[in-house]
Amino acid sequence: MNPIIINILISLVMILFSSRMLEDRLDYRSLSPEGKSGRIRLFLCGDVMTGRGIDQILPSPGDPVLHESYMKSANGYVKLAEKVNGNIPYPVDFFYIWGDALGYWEKMAPDLKIINLETAVTRSNRFWENKAVNYRMSPENISVLKKADIDFCSMANNHVLDFHGEGLKETMKSLRDTGISFSGCGGDLRSARKPAVLEIQENKRVIILSIGMKDSGIPESWEAGDQDPGVFLVSPRRENAYLIQKVLDETEQPGDIIIISIHWGSNWGYQVPAEHIRFAHDLIDIAGADLIHGHSSHHILGIEVYRNRLILYGCGDFINDYEGISGYESFRDDLTLMYFADIDAETGKLVKLQMIPLQIKKFRLNETSEKDTKWLSVILNREGRKYGTSVEVSEYGVLNLNW
């Protein structure tokens, strides 16, 4: 039998098994689409890194050649993961990497699924020189996002131009052809600054603007110009909050929910720079943001609720190919969170935040152990203390935010 057909059958069995597990784990009174009247439910996560090793296990892998000092073939990352956690039955189908997340998405029924796509989607071989890592996924594998019903990709990050303007053009075309919205990059400055408009429920719109900062590793030369492709690059200064307000004013209508998705900060470490905190507050006070979706850190950071608006300073990686790479084990980048934020549809205020922990293993999202869930709660409580937030772990292993 064809290996892809076998893996499709395996995935279906795993989804059915996961659904059975969900029956035991979820509190249907708190984790359900019922009672959402007057609310918008958003799913958010951090970096979705479907390039490199992940791309190699999908049905249509691209050229595995890498230009890194650490590894010269993307297949090497697959071998590292298999050495640590066992065989990955690739080629896998497009549902495989999402694993147990699929059941949670079905049960939680978010109005929108929002990710940071941390890869170029291209077959171009013209890589950006003098850059430590270049991520790319084959355009033929873009269905991995479509099968997960991803609605929006934040693109103002430090990998979207890894294969120059040609790679960026192919990336944007792949997303458009698949019907996935994005913002934060474009063929010129005006298009890079253009927010995405997503219509949900009845006559309700969510506006999402993506911005990036140099401290996340975005080269200054990647800033979009009047006639040059690139990203919407900003610094965390108050005048840029006014700039963003002006950009949003061109699109925003009364009653819109405003999300600003930011790629900022270093990959490792829990300390959020003071200028990031001030800028997040300015984006709420000046630009009118209802939610700040921060990413770049490979692990979770603290959470703040400012003026009843949610600030996620760092969501951590959601999918990566880091299994077997040593050096940062204490940060547990294998542990990730699904963030489900309930927002008041009229005011934009946070009503509820529920977080579901998962573990990346064999390039797949899996249920966590009670011990790992506890570890995540300890980190969120420690890092949230300075912002006046804490979490409680339900008997079903769901993390609920208090503020």
8 A C-beta contact, residue 41 and residue 341: yes
8 A C-beta contact, residue 67 and residue 100: no
Dihedral sign from CA coordinates of 232, 233, 236, 242:
negative
8 A C-beta contact, residue 156 and residue 182: no
How far apart are alpha carbons 386 and 384 in whole angstroms?
Answer: 5
Q: Which residues pair with 183 in a beta bridge?
A: 154
pLDDT digits (tens, 9 = 90+) for 184-207: 999 999 999 999 999 997 789 999
Which two structure tokens, joined as six digits, stand for 276? 């990031």
Which two structure tokens, joined as six digits, stand for 161? 């131009």
pLDDT digits (tens, 9 = 90+) for 278-337: 999 999 999 999 999 999 999 999 999 999 999 999 999 999 999 999 999 999 999 999
Residue indicated by tokens 């009843």: 308
Q: What CATH number has the domain bearing residue 78?
A: 3.60.21.10
How far apart are alpha carbons 344 and 218 in whole angstroms?
Answer: 34
Which residue in 206, 201, 162, 205 sits closest to 185, CA to CA?
A: 162
Give 149: exposed, middle or buried? Use CB within 10 Å, 0-12, 13-18, 19+.
Answer: middle
Residue type, 342: D
8 A C-beta contact, residue 282 and residue 238: yes
Range of the domain at 186: 3-402
How far apart are alpha carbons 290 and 310 in whole angstroms?
Answer: 7
Is the peptide bond between 357 and the residue preceding it cis, with omega within 30 degrees of 0? no
Q: What is the pLDDT along the chain (403 residues), one digit of tens a residue?
A: 555 565 555 555 554 544 444 544 554 344 555 556 699 999 999 999 999 999 999 999 999 999 999 999 999 999 999 999 999 999 999 999 999 999 999 999 999 999 999 999 999 999 999 999 999 999 999 999 999 999 999 999 999 999 999 999 999 999 999 999 999 999 999 999 999 999 997 789 999 999 999 999 999 999 999 999 999 999 999 999 999 999 999 999 999 999 999 999 999 999 999 999 999 999 999 999 999 999 999 999 999 999 999 999 999 999 999 999 999 999 999 999 999 999 999 999 999 999 999 999 999 999 999 999 999 999 999 999 999 999 999 988 999 999 9
Domain count, the chain: 1
Residues 6 or more apart whose Cβ sits within 8 Å of residue 49: 118, 119, 135, 317, 319, 320, 321
